Structure 1
Amino acid sequence: MGNDNFQYLLRRYPSDPLYPEVEKIRGSYVYTTDRRKFLDLTAGYSACVSIGGSNLKVRSAIKKQMRKYSYVSAVSWSNSRAAELAELLVRKAPLGLDRVMFPGCSGSEAIEAAMRMSYQVRFEQGEIDRSVFITRSNAYHGITSLALSLTSTPVYGFLKPLQPTNHVSIPQHNFFEQSLAGESQDDYALRSAKQLEDQIIATGPEKITAFVAESMLGSLQGNVPPSGNYWKLVREICDRYEIHIILDEVYCGLGRSGKVYCCEWDGITPDFVAQGKQLAGGFGPISAVVTKSRFEEIIKAGQNRIFYATTYEAHPLAVAAAIEVQKVVQSNEMLAHVNLIGEMIKQRLTDGLGTHEFFKNVRGRGALVTIEYQCDDQEKFNERLQAEMRDQHGVLIGSRFHRTNFNPPSTTSYRQVERAVDQYVELFEKIGLDFSRTSI
């Protein structure tokens, strides 16, 4: 099939040249039809290819399921494999999270379902005015209507007339951008949590159903962990005003942070957790909402129906893939490996570039690591970093805005990542000679 066929395909960026076409993926390596090979340190660009692209057990599980049946509707049939996957997610969840729903194909649908369920619980309890969600600035939680309404990313601004308006915003929780001069991580956490409480009081707690936020800021902001005991402070505030916490772990969940649930690092139990990208690791489209049986009982006593359904919820092929993926990413051995390579990335970036004039910081959790820097014409600097890592070293990285994200598949070997990071450090120094530092 030649390039002429692409004239019928409506692409996201219609005027861009055609991207390379993938022939196959083996482990963390991508092979293209023009006979090139790349080590992918972006885990499929959006960090969803958590165990590489060719795991034999996952592929076998999909084939085995296909021999039985490829699809049944979750509305009218039971699926014991979906129950098995739910058990895998509950078994490692923070205490109190004991119910799982598979609302559809993407993290957007998981966020949408969690938001709707939060309000339905309010409705069933007679609190019909509690319909407002609190979000944080510069957030991104998905492309569906409710989820997109929470984002303030300028590129989506023209869609605002189509979106619900039942939300208010507080500043993002980002120590590297929002802290005051001389402010400690603990003091910043306290001030940031107070911004949430101030907004709750200003809006009126009787109007608010939930606070929606990422457990740690993801690829949009560059792998920013929360400061100090921020989430414990937030949990106390939300308990005080009986406000749900909806955590978005679509990007950072299910082993990528070095723990099965990213919020385990912070020692809290949210009310809802949205999972997506890492659930089936790119082998199938599926997402999940992990929540509490207490809410199920409230809904059961009310309308006895969760008002969210999609055609492909708990799709059997995606469920089969997700079970095998979760067996890998939840293992103690894999979590130890993820933390090991993450610490190595941070250490080698700090050792290699910590004194560079462009350097600002290195941060992250597990296999999600970011180096932030500042120079003149950063767009061109990023373009050269990406292009020369790709063309000279055969390595795919995510450099944009003011940073480079390293998100290798969890199964990438220590040596593969180490070599690529060292190549990046050398290239950063070389390209940096053509640019200059800008004032902060």
Structure 2
Amino acid sequence: MTPPSAVLHRHLHRVPYLASSGKGSYITLEDGRRILDATGGAAVSCLGHGHESVTQAMVSQITQLSYCHTAFFSIKPFEELAAFLRDSTGGRMSKVYIVGSGSEAMEAAMKLARQYYLELDNPQSQRTRFIARKQSYHGITLGALSMGGHTFRRQPFEPILLPNVSHVSPCNAYRGRRDGESDADYVARLADELDGEFRRLGPETVCAFVAEPVVGAALGCVPSVPGYLTAMKSVCDKYGALFILDEVMSGMGRCGTLHTWEQEDVVPDMQTIGKGLGGGYAPVAGLLIGEKIVNALDKGTGSFRHGHTYQGHPVSSAAALAVQKVIQGENLLENVRKMGDVLQSELKMRLSSHPHVGDIRGKGLFWGIEFVKNKITKEPFDPSLGIGYKIQDKGLTPPYGISIYGGQGTADGIQGDHVLLAPPYNTTKEEIVLIAELVQRVVEDTFTEVEGLSG
């Protein structure tokens, strides 16, 4: 008898499939079955699996220098990666802080936002608060979890989360925009809500407002409506607060431009990045920092009072740099846009008329499908049914063999189901069509089973 796994898996009662290898858009399991990785894990594997130029860069770095502490040394890949990221913003984000995960990047952003106000010529020590959004996700460590508005993830830990973070409404046109309300009117209403929250807290006490340009896991690829980011930044500027964008999931090319904010030309004061930065080849994430914050530190203490043992890790830096060179050298952002159009078209053609598909939304190669019990009222399913996770689980089984990222809480933080798709940037039209075909089959077959049980 095989002994039980020693791993504390995400669920003790469900041991995940054992993967043995991966190549391109496919993961091969130990039993030989191939799974079409249509989600890149958690929107991570932007180049698919086994990209030789990336693995070679990592091996080369390991053989030269596998680790050094950034308090004493820097290395060329780290410096080149930071320069690439700085230049990708036209120098508007002038410094880069490289860490190991999106949660670490958000923690760094929170601490740097606080320190920024202490470094000013006239320090503003009263700024201790943050405003974020409901149904958002910014990381799983306590500070980042406090920033997020993901009800299910927050619930057990509410008593130990930070009390200085409040939340306003997300920008979710499907559920938040009123009947007959234009984008402009909807944006104005959300801006008024944010302005009111600043005034309720005391504008002089707020460090920053934090938002995802496209909400990933918490809402299922919900993009901001046109004008939203501009309006939110204007409110922040009005009260002297920082504007922080979390692009850990939606950025680094996932939505068709390297930085999602480029599409609205709204430059944040700080920006977190991750997932698509290193494509899963090594744990890596980062914080891009605007010039005014860098200037304040430069004129002040000259030091960010924060640090990690593995920040700027040589192998992670080499992997991320190699991934970014492939994306740039092979013009993959254009492919993201083209294949994103195909994916959108295929999903809407196949699933828009399904009685339980409420919304299909996204950007680039970042698409979500929200499921509803009633298409007219948008009533969600009972959470106990776990529709999104049922679809995810079924997809992994024969005869489908596809990974589909399920989620819950889409409607109000507890109720509501969605699935997320995030194929690699170098995917092909044939793969996209296959993904759409398989998703259609899984969705239809899942609901046939669910309705059979309820009937």
Does the CA contact (< 8 Å) of 1:276 and 1:287 recur in 2?
yes
Matched residue, 1:4: 3
Given the superposition, is the C-alpha separation of residues 172 and 331 from structure 1 closer, same or farther in structure 2, using an over 3 Å criterion? farther
Of the candidates 138, 141, 158, which is equivalent to residue 141 of structure 1?
A: 138
Does the CA contact (< 8 Å) of 2:212 and 2:245 recur in 1?
yes
How far off is 1:267 after superposition?
1.4
For the residues of structure 1 that align with 2:94 and 2:85, how far apart are their CA atoms? 9
For the residues of structure 2 that align with 1:137 and 1:384, how far apart are their CA atoms? 25
1:322-363 alpha-carbon deviations (Å, 9 max, x no partner): 001011234572011111121111111212222222232211
How far off is 1:370 after superposition?
1.2
Tell me the TM-score normalized by structure 2: 0.90
For the residues of structure 2 that align with 1:9 and 1:433, how far apart are their CA atoms? 35
Given the superposition, is the C-alpha separation of residues 377 and 335 from structure 1 closer, same or farther in structure 2, using an over 3 Å criterion? same
Tell me the TM-score normalized by structure 1: 0.93
Q: Per the alignment, in what secondary structure is the counterpart of residue 93 of structure 2?
A: coil
For the residues of structure 1 that align with 2:363 and 2:245, how far apart are their CA atoms? 16
Structure 2: gaps spanning 5 or more residues: 374-380, 409-416
Does the CA contact (< 8 Å) of 1:358 and 1:374 recur in 2?
yes
Matched residue, 2:406: 399
For the residues of structure 2 that align with 1:86 and 1:319, how far apart are their CA atoms? 9
Matched residue, 2:45: 49
Given the superposition, is the C-alpha separation of residues 290 and 382 from structure 1 closer, same or farther in structure 2, using an over 3 Å criterion? closer
The residue identity in structure 2 corresponding to 1:133 is: F
For the residues of structure 1 that align with 2:311 and 2:4, how far apart are their CA atoms? 31
Of the candidates 105, 113, 119, which is equivalent to residue 110 of structure 1?
A: 105
Of the candidates 273, 280, 290, which is equivalent to residue 288 of structure 2?
A: 290
Q: Per the alignment, in what secondary structure is the counterpart of residue 323 of structure 2?
A: helix
Aligned pair count reads: 432
Structure 1: gaps spanning 5 or more residues: none
Does the CA contact (< 8 Å) of 2:146 and 2:154 recur in 1?
no
Of the candidates 148, 152, 168, which is equivalent to residue 151 of structure 1?
A: 148
The residue identity in structure 2 corresponding to 1:38 is: I
1:399-429 alpha-carbon deviations (Å, 9 max, x no partner): 3432221111222222112122023224434
Matched residue, 1:417: 432
Give me the identity figure in percent. Answer: 29
1:172-222 alpha-carbon deviations (Å, 9 max, x no partner): 221111111221222211111221111111211110111011121112101
Does the CA contact (< 8 Å) of 2:19 and 2:30 recur in 1?
yes
For the residues of structure 1 that align with 2:163 and 2:328, how far apart are their CA atoms? 38
The residue identity in structure 1 corresponding to 2:261 is: C
The residue identity in structure 1 corresponding to 2:392 is: Q
Does the CA contact (< 8 Å) of 1:28 and 1:411 recur in 2?
no
How far off is 1:369 after superposition?
0.6
1:38-64 alpha-carbon deviations (Å, 9 max, x no partner): 1101102x1111111201011101111
The residue identity in structure 2 corresponding to 1:326 is: Q
For the residues of structure 1 that align with 2:321 and 2:128, how far apart are their CA atoms? 35
Q: Per the alignment, in what secondary structure is the counterpart of residue 280 of structure 2?
A: coil
1:260 aligns with 2:258: yes
Q: Per the alignment, in what secondary structure is the counterpart of residue 190 of structure 2?
A: helix
Q: What does 1:40-439 correspond to in 2, within 5 Å?
A: 40-44=37-41, 46-93=42-89, 96-102=92-98, 104-125=99-120, 126-152=123-149, 153-331=151-329, 333-375=331-373, 379=385, 381-390=387-396, 391-401=398-408, 402-433=417-448
CA RMSD of aligned residues (A): 2.0
Moved more, 16-25 or 153-162: 153-162
Given the superposition, is the C-alpha separation of residues 190 and 319 from structure 1 closer, same or farther in structure 2, using an over 3 Å criterion? same
Matched residue, 2:376: none
Q: Per the alignment, in what secondary structure is the counterpart of residue 156 of structure 2?
A: helix
Given the superposition, is the C-alpha separation of residues 427 and 137 from structure 1 closer, same or farther in structure 2, using an over 3 Å criterion? closer
How far off is 1:377 after superposition?
5.8
Does the CA contact (< 8 Å) of 2:284 and 2:316 recur in 1?
yes
Q: Per the alignment, in what secondary structure is the counterpart of residue 392 of structure 1?
A: coil
How far off is 1:155 after superposition?
3.6
How far off is 1:380 after superposition?
5.6
Q: Per the alignment, in what secondary structure is the counterpart of residue 278 of structure 1?
A: helix
